Chain A
Amino acid sequence: MQYSLEVRIELKKGVIDAEGETVKKTLNLLGYEVEGVNTVSVYVIRLSAESEEEAMEKMDEAARRLLANPVIQNYSISAVK
């Protein structure tokens, strides 16, 4: 079966999001009263596996090995329906 998974990478709480801060300041300048902006990266990955669980496990490993740096980032994986 082919599965489509979404791997979402975001900065851990307490890690300064320099890009998010810049976007927030710029939105404020444009008159939008936003109070916070966080940037996230999302990878939509298609792969074949025996089950959705196996696909998730594979991408969990991939996230740890490449997509996220555990020092500053958290990740979550969900199936794309």
Chain B
Amino acid sequence: MLLTGNDKMPDVCVLLIEGTNCEKETQEAFSGVGLDAELVHLKQLLGDCERQRKRRLSDYGMLMLPGGWSAGDYIRAGAIFAARMKSKLGDELKDFVESGNLVLGVCNGFQILTEMGLLPAFKGISDVPTASLTNNLSSCFQCRPTYIKHVNKTPLTGKLDLGDVIQVPVAHAEGRFTFGEKQDMMLKQLIENNQIVFRYCRVDGSEAQEIYPWNPNGSIYDIAGICNPERNVLGLMPHPERVINRLQMTDWTRKDNGDAGDGRVVFESIAGYLKAIV
């Protein structure tokens, strides 16, 4: 899409590089709730393209990092996308986040946010990662529906009540959240800061207790999604953009919750928040 100076900028920047592959359904999910999302290649933000295609992050109300296999998941999932962003976009991104703009990373996007030090960011954005999303304990790619419980509110999940359980699929090989050697101390801080937003659970909402397949990857404390202390950056492994319509739910013949799939509420929350602050 080419924009002229008079055009309104889209609400959301859906950022991608080679290997990102969930951008189209993510864009559709935003448009389904009335938000205009533009697919933007990282080179467009870095100015490494023809003039008409150049974009500035500050022109958007939100940054979305969709799922996929950016840069082939080489080194570690998300590491190369994160390094490319940090190398030339670091200050702009820092300003964007510290100004309170929304950032959502799903699956590979969550891995990128963690590698970039934007999550968990206990003391602001960190230069080196302070957490990791590493290989699933099963050592297998996990593609399955999961149940996740909303345990702390953020602007990106405002239309969910605390304790709500939604069914959202995961599809990843590296989704096991860990703090490594500092696990106990860091997990305590994450809990105390109310930074855990979603936890894997059983169908009835009871704890998964780190047991497979309810917890599909072995994440500590059944962590499925976390936010930063300021609550405007959210990363989650499950894919809400894949369950926008009821027909995408595994139990669509058994439940009648209207036309919406369980993931739609995340995008509705974002739309509600962005429209309220305009």
Of B40-48, B175-183, B230-238, the one touching chain A = B175-183
Q: Are A72 and B134 in contact (CB under 8 A)?
A: yes
- Does A14 sit at the interface, judged by CB under 8 A? yes
A15 and B178 in contact, given A71-B131, A72-B134 (Cβ under 8 angstroms): yes
CB under 8 Å from chain B, chain A span 20-48:
21-22
For residue B170, give the distance in angstroms from its CB to the closest CB of chain A: 16
- Does B191 sit at the interface, judged by CB under 8 A? no
- Does B130 sit at the interface, judged by CB under 8 A? yes
A65 and B135 in contact, given A14-B181, A70-B128, A71-B129 (Cβ under 8 angstroms): no
For residue B135, give the distance in angstroms from its CB to the closest CB of chain A: 4
- Does B49 sit at the interface, judged by CB under 8 A? no
Q: Are B83 and A18 in contact (CB under 8 A)?
A: no
Q: Could you give, for residues 56-68 of chain A, a 1 whenever the CB lies within 8 Å of some chain B CB and a 0 otherwise?
A: 0000000011110
Q: Could you give, for residues 184-200 of chain B, a 1 whenever the CB lies within 8 Å of some chain A CB and a 0 otherwise?
A: 00000000000000000
- Contact with B180, one of A15, A22, A64 (Cβ below 8 angstroms): A15
Q: Are B130 and A71 in contact (CB under 8 A)?
A: yes
In the complex, chain A residues whose CB is within 8 Å of the CB of B134: 15, 72
- Contact with B79, one of A19, A64, A66, A71 (Cβ below 8 angstroms): A66
A22 to B173, alpha carbons, bound, how many Å? Answer: 14
- Does A80 sit at the interface, judged by CB under 8 A? no
Q: Are A72 and B178 in contact (CB under 8 A)?
A: yes
Residue of A nearest to B128 (CB): A70
Q: Are B139 and A12 in contact (CB under 8 A)?
A: no
For residue B122, give the distance in angstroms from its CB to the closest CB of chain A: 13
- Contact with B75, one of A16, A22, A64, A66 (Cβ below 8 angstroms): A66
In the complex, chain B residues whose CB is within 8 Å of the CB of A16: 137, 218
Q: Could you give, for residues 67-82 of chain B, a 1 whenever the CB lies within 8 Å of some chain A CB and a 0 otherwise?
A: 0000000011001100
A66 to B136, alpha carbons, bound, how many Å? Answer: 21
A16 to B174, alpha carbons, bound, how many Å? Answer: 13
A70 to B132, alpha carbons, bound, how many Å? Answer: 9
- Does A69 sit at the interface, judged by CB under 8 A? yes
A19 to B141, alpha carbons, bound, how many Å? Answer: 12
Residue of B nearest to A16 (CB): B137
In the complex, chain B residues whose CB is within 8 Å of the CB of A15: 134, 178, 180
A62 to B132, alpha carbons, bound, how many Å? Answer: 18
In the complex, chain A residues whose CB is within 8 Å of the CB of B11: none
A16 to B135, alpha carbons, bound, how many Å? Answer: 9
- Contact with B138, one of A18, A64, A66, A72 (Cβ below 8 angstroms): A18
Q: Could you give, for residues 117-137 of chain B, a 1 whenever the CB lies within 8 Å of some chain A CB and a 0 otherwise?
A: 000000000001111101111
In the complex, chain B residues whose CB is within 8 Å of the CB of A64: 128
Q: Are B181 and A19 in contact (CB under 8 A)?
A: no
Q: Are A12 and B181 in contact (CB under 8 A)?
A: yes
CB under 8 Å from chain A, chain B span 193-235:
218
Q: Can you name 26 A-B pairs with beta carbons within 8 Å?
A: A12-B181, A14-B181, A15-B178, A15-B180, A16-B137, A16-B218, A18-B135, A18-B136, A18-B138, A18-B176, A18-B218, A19-B135, A64-B128, A66-B79, A66-B80, A69-B79, A69-B115, A69-B128, A69-B129, A69-B132, A71-B129, A71-B130, A71-B178, A71-B179, A71-B180, A72-B178
